[in-house]
Amino acid sequence: MREPGQIKRSPRVDTRFNATLIDGDGSKYHVVVTDISREGCRLESEELLKIGENVQIEVPKYGLYPAQIRWALGNEAGAVFLEPVFLP
């Protein structure tokens, strides 16, 4: 049961795989995706990511996924996909 004030979200899958984040200026950064759902993911990055920035997350063999950075704290950040992702 959900507590008042909590946001319902899709189940997250713990994972750890390398990806490339492409920011709004076209700069590319190595990131590690540490969990994922059809609506978003958690990233680790050595770069400081900007909250609210629209980015693309490039996953080898799977393609590009448009997303927006929703939170960032130290070397971790959370992104919401701008289109739902269907996980295998």
Question: What's the predicted TM-score (pTM) here?
Answer: 0.84
- Domain residue limits, the chain: 13-76
Read off the pLDDT of residues 7-62 as tens digits, 9 standing for 90 and up.
666 677 788 999 999 999 999 999 999 999 989 999 999 999 999 999 999 998 88
Tokens of 2: 């959900």
Phi and psi at residue 75, in whole multiples of 5°? -95, 10
Q: How far separated are the first and last CA of the chain, in Å rounded?
A: 27
The pLDDT value given to residue 84: 82
Please give the C-alpha separations between residue 5 and each of 13, 61, 79, in angstroms, as whole numbers.
Answer: 23, 38, 20
Element counts in the chain: helices (H) and strands (E): 0, 6
* pLDDT at residue 88 tops 70: no
* pLDDT at residue 79 tops 70: yes
